[in-house]
Chains A and B, each alone.
Chain A
Amino acid sequence: MSMRIKAALMALPLAASLAAGSVRAEEVNIYSYRQPFLIEPLLEAFTAETGIQTNVVYGEGLVERMETEARNSPVDVLITPNTTVLMSAYNKGLTQPVNDSILLDNIPAQYRAADNHWFGLTTRARIIYASKERVAPGEITTYEQLADPEWEGRICTRSGKHSYNLSLFASMIAHHGEAYTREWMEGLKHNLARRPQGNDRSQVKAIHDGVCDISLGNSYYFGAMLTNEEEPEQQDWARSVNLIFPNQDDRGAHMFISGIALAKYAPNQANAIALMEFMVSPEAQYLYAQDNFEFPVRPGIERSDLIKQYMGDFKEDPLSLTTITDHIDEASRLVDEVAYDF
C-alpha cells in the first residue's frame, strides 16, 4: 500500500512538470502487436534519421489498454500484424484519420482504410507449402482444393483461430459465401494430419519430418527459415518444400497487411506522422522487405534477392481488406461450428 502511495507521489512532480509544458525529448510512443525483432531495426533507423526517440510496449490487449486510458493515453501509434486489430481500434473510435499525401500517394487504396484511419506497411501472402518429395508440381493450385478428398490426412495448419487463418477463411467467405466456406472448412479439417498446433514455421517442419505433405503459411516465413543462421536446421525445413501461390488462374493469392494507425489522442502527433511517413519511405520499405521477406506495400520498391528468386511475380487477390475484415467474426464463428481445432 505504502509503495503505491510512494510511487504515486514520486510520479506527481513528474506529471506536473509535463503538464506545465516543460521541454522534453522528442519522442513517439508505440503500442505494438508485432514482435520486437521485426520492428526494432526499423525503429532504430528512424531514430538515427530523425533523432526522435521511440518508446514501445509490445504485447496483446493493447487496444483495450488504449480504450481504458482514454484521452490520457500516452500512445501515439498502433502497429499490428493484421487488419483485425486495426479495425477493432477503429470501431472503438480510438484512431484518427491521417490525410497525409506521402501516405496516400504511396499506399495502394486496397491496402488502407477508405477514410484514412489505418494504413498497410507491408503485404503478405498466405500460401501453400508443399513437400518437394511427396507433392508433384501442379498437384494443388488453389485454396479450394485443400478440401479435396485426395489430401486426407496430409495437411497441417496452426489453430483455425489464429488471425492469419481467420483472414484467409474470411476471404473465402467474401468470395464464396458462408455455406460454401463451412463445407470447405469441414473438408479441410477432415484432411488434417494432426490437430491444429504450433506456428506457421512448425507446419513446414512437420512437412520436413514427414508428418504431413502440405501446409498453410505466410510467405515470409520461408525467407526467415532459409536464412536462419542461429538454427541452421530450419534451412533444411525450408529446402524440403515448394512454395505455391494459390489461385493464380483466377482471383490471386490471399493478401493481408501489417499496418499502422494514429491514435485519436496521440500526444506527439507530429512525431507520430513522421514515423508513419518514414515507414513508407523507400529505404524503410526496402529494409522491411529485405529483413522480414515481406512485400513492400509501396509499389516499385526493389524486392530482396531471395524473394525475387523464390517468389517471383505473382497475382494478388485485389479484394479490399475492409471487405475481408468484415467477415472475420463470421469466420471465427465457423471455426467454432466445425470445431476446427478439436
Chain B
Amino acid sequence: MTAVTTLAMPRRHALGQNRLARRWRFAVLLTATLVVLPIASVFYLALFPSHNIWRHLVDTVLFYYLDATVRLLLGVGLCATLIGVSTAWLVSACDFPGRRWFEWALLLPFAVPAYVIAFVYTDLLEFAGPLQGALREAFGWRSARDYWFPEIRSMGGAIAMLSLVLYPYVYLLARATFVDQARSMVAASRSLGCTPWQSFYRLSLPMARPAIAVGLALVLMETLNDFGTVDYFAVRTLSIGIYDTWLNQSNLGGAAQIASLMLGFVVVLIGLERFGRRRQQHYSPAGQSGQADRYRLRGGRALLAWTLCALPLVLGFAVPAGRLAFYALRNLGAYWTPDFFQLSLNSLLLSASAALVTVALGVLLAYGKRLFPSRGLNAGVGLAKLGYAMPGTVLAIGVMIPLAAFDNSLDALLRASFGISTGLLLSGTVVALIFAYSVRFLAVAAGAVESSLAKVTPEMDRAARSLGQSSLQTLWRVHLPLIRPGLLTAALVVFVDCMKELPATLILRPFNFDTLATHVFQFASDEKLEASALGALLIVLVGLGPVILLSRSVSRRND
C-alpha cells in the first residue's frame, strides 16, 4: 500500500495517472485471468466429479499417498538445501583450486531431467548393472538373495535423484546473495574477530535465508510435481494417485480432487516463498560492493572443499551425461536421423517461444504489481503462479478445456452467422503447448522478475517519472536494462524447464509432433535406455548452453 503513495506522481498528472492505472490493472488482471482459467477448469472438474472419490480415498490409500509425498518433500528439501547452500558458500566465500570452474559447473545438473537421471542410475545400480555385476564377480555371489545391496528404485533413491538435479535452484539463488552481500559487511565481521564459520553462520546465512527459501520453494514444487521419477521408482506420491485415478479409473473429476488437495501443499510453499521475499528488502547499491578477500583454503581444507563441490557435480551430471554419451555414441548412426533432427528443432523452437512469452507475461505481472499494488492485483498475480503446482497431466486437461471451448464457440458462432467453420484454431496446435508451458512456468519467471525488480530502489522510478517518462517508458528505459540479468535468468530457466517438460507435452501435442522429451520417454518407459540415450543427451546438451550463460551472468555481475 505504501508504494502507491511513494510512486504517485505530481498532482497535475493525477487524472492521466488514474487512466493509466486502470489500463495497467486491466492488462494484469486479463493476463492473470487467462492463466488462471486452466486452474479454474480443474477446480470445476473437482467440484463436479462423475463419482466422488474422497470417501474411497480417505478409507483406503490417501494416507499412503500423503505419507510418501511428505517424506519425499522432506528428504529432497533437506538434501537439496544442504548441497545447494554449502557449495554456494564455498565457491563465493572461499578460494581453492578449481573454484572458478566449480562456480558455473555446479549448475550443470540442472540440465538433466529427473526422469533421465533415474533411468541412468537404475541401469547402473540394479542387479544386472555393471556395479553389482562386478561385485558378484569379485565375491562369487550368484543371485540377489546372496547379498544385500541398496535398492535404487525406492524412496531413498527417489530422494537422491531429485536432490541431485534440483539443488541448483538453491545453489543459484544462494550464491547470488552470497556474492551480492556487501563484501564490506563480511570484511567488517572479520575485522571484528569472527571466524569464517561464525561469519557464515551469523551473517551470511541469515542474510541469504530469504533467497534460500525461494530456491527451496521451487525445489519442493518441482518435487511435488515430479511424475517420471516417482512412477519409475514405484514411490506412490499424490501425483501418482492423480494419474491412477484419472487413467485407470477413468475418473478425471477424482483426479482433479487430488490435484486440488495438492494445491494445499503449494499454498504453503508459496507462503514460504513469499516469506522469503518479504525479508529481501535490501536494495543492493549497484556496483559498489567492495571486494573482500576470499578465505584462502590450503591443503586438507582445500581438498575437502574441492571434494564437496565435485561430488554433486560428478553424481548429478558427469555420471549420467557420461553414461548417456556412452550409449548414444555406441550406435550414433542408427539414432541420428532426419526425424531426430526435426524433433530436436521442435523442442528448441517451442521452448524458446514459450520462454519469451512466459517472461513477457512475468514482466507484465511483476511490473503491474509494483506500479499499482492492491489486494486484487496481488491475489491475481498469486493465483497466476498456481499453475506451477498443477501436475502436468491435470494442467493439460485444464488447458484443453478453455482453449477448446473458445475454439468451439468461435466455430459455432461463425457457422451460425456466415456458414463457415473455423474448426480448432488453438487446441491441438503448438499454441496449446506454449499456453500450457506459460501457465506452468509463469511462477518461475514472475518470481525471478519480481525479485530483480525488488532490488531496484523506488527512487529510480520517481527520478524517471519526474523527468517526464511514462510508466511504460520507465519500464523500457530504466527497469528492463537494470534487471536484464534477472530477465535472462528467468528466460533461461523457463527454456530449460520447457525442454524437459513431459506430461503436458504428451497430452497436448499436435499430430505427428514429437519433442526430445516425448521421444526419450517413449523409449525409456519401455526400458530401452539405449534408444533413448541420444535424445536424453541432447536435452542435457541444449540445456548446458543456457545454464553456463546463466552462471556467467551471475559471476560477471559481481567480479
Q: Are A and B subunits of one complex?
A: yes
> Using a CB–CB distance below 8 Å, which chain A residues touch chain B?
1, 3-4, 7-8, 11-12, 15-16, 18-20, 29, 35-37, 55-62, 64-65, 68-74, 84, 88, 159, 161-163, 166, 194-199, 201-202, 205, 208-211, 230-231, 233, 329, 332-333, 336-337, 339, 341-342
Complex Cα distance A233/B407, Å?
Answer: 50
Q: How far is the CB of B376 from chain A (nearest CB, A)?
A: 21
Given A72-B423, A211-B145, 19 new contacts (CB under 8 A):
A1-B31, A3-B356, A12-B425, A15-B425, A35-B526, A57-B512, A65-B400, A65-B508, A72-B404, A72-B408, A159-B234, A161-B244, A194-B151, A209-B143, A230-B530, A329-B249, A332-B244, A336-B61, A339-B60
Q: Which residue of B lies closest to A237 (CB)?
A: B128
Contacts of B511 in A (CB 8 A): 29, 55-57, 74
Q: How far is the CB of B523 from chain A (nearest CB, A)?
A: 8
Q: Select one of A1, A71, A231 contacting B408, CB under 8 A.
A: A71
- Assess A197 versus B522: contact at CB under 8 Å? Given A72-B411, A336-B56: no
* B174 CB within 8 Å of chain A: no
Establish whether residues B522 and A36, one from each chain, have CB atoms under 8 Å apart when the complex forms: yes
Q: Which residue of A lies closest to B132 (CB)?
A: A209
Contacts of A205 in B (CB 8 A): 128
Contacts of B405 in A (CB 8 A): 68
Establish whether residues B506 and A4, one from each chain, have CB atoms under 8 Å apart when the complex forms: no
Comparing B186-194, B211-219, B427-435, B536-544, the segment that makes contact with chain A is B427-435
* B185 CB within 8 Å of chain A: no
Establish whether residues A332 and B522, one from each chain, have CB atoms under 8 Å apart when the complex forms: no
Q: Select one of B400, B431, B507 contacting A7, CB under 8 A.
A: B431
- Assess A201 versus B527: contact at CB under 8 Å? Given A12-B422, A56-B511: yes
Establish whether residues B127 and A336, one from each chain, have CB atoms under 8 Å apart when the complex forms: no
Establish whether residues A342 and B522, one from each chain, have CB atoms under 8 Å apart when the complex forms: no
Establish whether residues B234 and A196, one from each chain, have CB atoms under 8 Å apart when the complex forms: yes
Q: Select one of B250, B356, B422 contacting A19, CB under 8 A.
A: B422
Complex Cα distance A153/B396, Å?
Answer: 40
Q: Which residue of A lies closest to B427 (CB)?
A: A69
Question: Please, could you name 14 A-B residue pairs with CB atoms under 8 Å apart, sorted by A?
Answer: A4-B357, A8-B425, A12-B422, A15-B421, A18-B423, A19-B420, A35-B522, A35-B526, A68-B403, A197-B153, A199-B525, A205-B128, A210-B143, A230-B530
Contacts of A208 in B (CB 8 A): 128
Establish whether residues B428 and A74, one from each chain, have CB atoms under 8 Å apart when the complex forms: yes
The 9 closest A-B pairs by CB, nearest first: A210-B143, A197-B234, A55-B511, A68-B404, A336-B60, A59-B506, A61-B507, A209-B127, A88-B250
B231-248 residues with Cβ-Cβ distance < 8 A to A are: 233-234, 236, 244, 246-248
Contacts of B509 in A (CB 8 A): 57, 59
Complex Cα distance A36/B236, Å?
Answer: 27
Establish whether residues B512 and A55, one from each chain, have CB atoms under 8 Å apart when the complex forms: yes
Complex Cα distance A35/B518, Å?
Answer: 11
* B105 CB within 8 Å of chain A: no
Q: Select one of B61, B393, B522 contacting A61, CB under 8 A.
A: B393
Q: Which residue of B lies closest to A162 (CB)?
A: B248
* B443 CB within 8 Å of chain A: no
Complex Cα distance A296/B405, Å?
Answer: 40
B421-455 residues with Cβ-Cβ distance < 8 A to A are: 421-431, 434-435
- Assess A56 versus B512: contact at CB under 8 Å? Given A4-B435, A231-B528: yes
Q: Which residue of B lies closest to A31 (CB)?
A: B511
Establish whether residues B408 and A8, one from each chain, have CB atoms under 8 Å apart when the complex forms: no
* B78 CB within 8 Å of chain A: no
Establish whether residues B144 and A210, one from each chain, have CB atoms under 8 Å apart when the complex forms: yes
Establish whether residues A70 and B408, one from each chain, have CB atoms under 8 Å apart when the complex forms: yes
Contacts of A74 in B (CB 8 A): 423-424, 428, 511
Q: How far is the CB of B347 from chain A (nearest CB, A)?
A: 16
Q: Select one of A56, A166, A341 contacting B236, CB under 8 A.
A: A341
Q: Select one of B233, B360, B425 contacting A1, CB under 8 A.
A: B360
* B118 CB within 8 Å of chain A: no
Contacts of B75 in A (CB 8 A): none
B509-559 residues with Cβ-Cβ distance < 8 A to A are: 509-513, 518, 522, 525-528, 530-531
* B353 CB within 8 Å of chain A: yes
Establish whether residues A64 and B397, one from each chain, have CB atoms under 8 Å apart when the complex forms: yes
Q: Which residue of B lies closest to A133 (CB)?
A: B143
Contacts of A37 in B (CB 8 A): 522, 526
Complex Cα distance A231/B331, Å?
Answer: 12
* B361 CB within 8 Å of chain A: yes
Complex Cα distance A198/B235, Å?
Answer: 11
Q: How far is the CB of A246 from chain B (nearest CB, A)?
A: 23
Establish whether residues A58 and B528, one from each chain, have CB atoms under 8 Å apart when the complex forms: no
Q: Select one of B249, B353, B397, B435 contacting A332, CB under 8 A.
A: B249
Q: How far is the CB of A214 from chain B (nearest CB, A)?
A: 15
- Assess A60 versus B236: contact at CB under 8 Å? Given A3-B434, A68-B404, A69-B427: no
- Assess A1 versus B357: contact at CB under 8 Å? Given A199-B527, A230-B531, A336-B56: yes
Contact with A along B36-74 (1 / 0, CB 8 A): 000000000000000000001101110010000000000
Contacts of B518 in A (CB 8 A): 58-59
Complex Cα distance A319/B31, Å?
Answer: 54
Q: Which residue of B lies closest to A201 (CB)?
A: B527
Q: Select one of A11, A58, A88, A339 contacting B61, CB under 8 A.
A: A339
Contacts of B408 in A (CB 8 A): 69-72
Q: Which residue of B lies closest to A35 (CB)?
A: B522
Contacts of A230 in B (CB 8 A): 528, 530-531
Q: How far is the CB of A150 from chain B (nearest CB, A)?
A: 17
Establish whether residues B411 and A7, one from each chain, have CB atoms under 8 Å apart when the complex forms: no
Establish whether residues A1 and B423, one from each chain, have CB atoms under 8 Å apart when the complex forms: no
- Assess A210 versus B145: contact at CB under 8 Å? Given A8-B431, A55-B511, A74-B423: yes
Complex Cα distance A50/B389, Å?
Answer: 47
Q: Which residue of B lies closest to A210 (CB)?
A: B143
* B13 CB within 8 Å of chain A: no
Contacts of A18 in B (CB 8 A): 423
Establish whether residues A209 and B527, one from each chain, have CB atoms under 8 Å apart when the complex forms: no
Complex Cα distance A210/B60, Å?
Answer: 32
